[in-house]
């Protein structure tokens, strides 16, 4: 009858029989019966505050160390940390640099400047050509995500040996915009990317721009973006940019999370190459170009949309490094 009337909200059959037996025997109280033992006194307000102060002094302390310093039992310390203080232990995140207050402010100012440009010109990001250099390896170990695989509860956990990047490598320089790659080339073996070599690269970039983006070349209404590597910020390079009307887009130091090459192009390009072995530098170059050409126009467009969102994130966290997209 209870099941018919209350459906899933009704008590189970076993519970109904148990309560019926109690009431039949004259036990009309519905309160819990007293249990043996004494109430826990470890999770008091004083102990919670004591452990909070211990953690504030050194957040790397283990539960065993906190037990020794506080005199509270291990299980109680663990529950105070997780339930009362709402904490969990996490590994430190690697970041390019521990930023100073001035560097964080510089990141915010650069982001605000780009946001202001985009508000004044809705097509601003479609006029930017950005680029950088990266190493391409004959063997680059696959990522943790790539090596993951499905398993049942009874099957053993997959294993893999620790691998390192190969010594055989070549450096790629690539520039792209919202429509795709504008110019790419490999640095000759033994050549250092200094200001003299980078100037020659910029000249070849301009030739590629004239052929592949004639609309931007003729209008001159485009912007140039690269990071703050020494070769990029040399006086001769800055003079070349000014002389040839290549208006630079501001980029704050130590900010790969705000550089499209680093948060999109290079990870996307190398995704198809990780975990594969190539015989020589010539094959590395061939596979790199294949990976570049496999990136769709839609992905390039989405990259610049993500860039715009990353600017907002950087501003919202006051210049700190931020997580994900």
- Mutual orientation of helices 45-57 and 63-70 as an angle, nearest 10°? 120
Task: Indicate if the pLDDT at residue 259 is higher than 60.
Answer: yes
Q: Alpha-carbon torsion 186, 270, 286, 131, what sign?
A: negative
Is residue 199 located within the same domain as residue 301? yes
pLDDT in tens, 80-131: 999 889 998 887 777 778 899 999 999 999 999 999 999 999 999 999 999 9
Question: Which tokens in the block code for residue 181?
Answer: 């790659």
Is residue 60 located within the same domain as residue 137? no
Domain membership flag for residue 89: no
* pLDDT > 70 in the chain, percent: 94
pLDDT score, position 35: 59
Neighbours of 266 (CB within 10 A): 20
Domain membership flag for residue 8: yes
DSSP strand pairing (128-137 vs 223-225): parallel
Task: Indicate if the pLDDT at residue 206 is higher than 80.
Answer: yes
33: Cα separation from own chain's centroid: 53
pLDDT in tens, 241-256: 999 999 999 999 999 9
Model pTM above 0.75: no
pLDDT score, position 11: 78
Is residue 106 located within the same domain as residue 75? no
Cα–Cα distance for residue pair 206/209, rounded to 1 Å: 5
Contact 251, 259 (CB under 8 A): yes
Higher per-residue pLDDT: 285 or 151:
285
**3-state DSSP call for residue 11?**
coil
Q: Alpha-carbon torsion 128, 288, 164, 166, what sign?
A: negative
pLDDT score, position 294: 94
Neighbours of 149 (CB within 10 A): 8
The total number of residues shown for the chain amounts to 325
Lowest-pLDDT range, 44-58, 179-193, 202-216?
44-58
**3-state DSSP call for residue 168?**
coil
Is residue 116 located within the same domain as residue 20? no
Is residue 245 located within the same domain as residue 115? yes
Lowest-pLDDT range, 31-35, 165-169, 215-219?
31-35
Is residue 179 located within the same domain as residue 246? yes
Domains identified in the chain, total number: 2
pLDDT in tens, 273-310: 988 899 999 999 999 999 999 999 999 999 999 999 99
For residue 197, the domain's CATH number is 3.30.420.10
Domain membership flag for residue 276: yes
Domain membership flag for residue 133: yes
Q: Alpha-carbon torsion 208, 245, 302, 275, what sign?
A: positive
Cα–Cα distance for residue pair 96/119, rounded to 1 Å: 30
pLDDT in tens, 4-22: 888 777 877 888 888 888 8
What is the overall mean pLDDT for the chain? 89
Is residue 130 located within the same domain as residue 61? no
Task: Indicate if the pLDDT at residue 236 is higher than 90.
Answer: yes
Buried b (16+ CB within 10 A) or exposed e, 99-133: beeebbebbbebbeebeebeeeeeebbebbbbbbb
State which residues form the domain around 75.
1-24+41-84
Question: Which tokens in the block code for residue 74?
Answer: 């291990």
Is residue 67 located within the same domain as residue 169? no
């Amino acid at each position: 009858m209870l099941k018919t009337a209350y459906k899933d909200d009704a008590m189970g059959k076993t519970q109904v029989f148990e309560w019926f037996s109690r009431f039949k025997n004259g036990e009309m109280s519905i309160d819990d019966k007293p249990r043996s033992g004494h109430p826990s006194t470890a999770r008091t307000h004083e102990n919670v505050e004591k452990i909070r102060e211990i953690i504030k002094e050194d957040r790397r302390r283990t539960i065993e160390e906190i037990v020794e310093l506080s005199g509270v039992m291990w299980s109680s310390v663990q529950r105070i940390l997780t339930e009362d203080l709402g904490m969990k232990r996490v590994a430190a995140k690697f970041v390019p640099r521990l930023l100073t207050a001035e560097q964080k402010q510089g990141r915010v100012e650069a982001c605000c400047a780009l946001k202001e440009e985009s508000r004044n010109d809705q097509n601003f990001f479609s006029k930017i050509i950005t680029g950088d250099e990266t190493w391409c390896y004959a063997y680059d170990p696959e990522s943790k995500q790539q090596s993951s695989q499905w398993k049942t509860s009874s099957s053993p956990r997959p294993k893999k040996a620790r691998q390192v990047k190969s010594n055989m490598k070549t450096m790629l320089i690539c520039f792209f915009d919202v429509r795709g790659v504008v110019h790419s080339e490999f640095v000759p073996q033994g050549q250092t990317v200094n200001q003299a070599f980078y100037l020659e690269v910029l000249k070849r970039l301009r030739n590629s721009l004239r052929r592949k983006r004639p609309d931007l070349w003729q209008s001159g209404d485009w912007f140039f973006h690269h990071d703050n590597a020494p070769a990029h910020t040399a006086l001769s390079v800055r003079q070349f940019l000014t002389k040839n009307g290549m208006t630079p887009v501001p980029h704050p130091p130590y900010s790969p999370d705000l550089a499209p090459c680093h948060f999109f192009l290079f990870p996307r390009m190398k995704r198809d190459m990780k975990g594969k072995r190539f015989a020589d530098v010539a094959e590395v170059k061939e596979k790199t170009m294949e990976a570049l050409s496999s990136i769709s126009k839609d992905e390039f467009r989405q990259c610049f949309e993500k860039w715009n969102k990353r600017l907002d994130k950087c501003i919202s966290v006051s210049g700190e490094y931020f997580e994900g997209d």
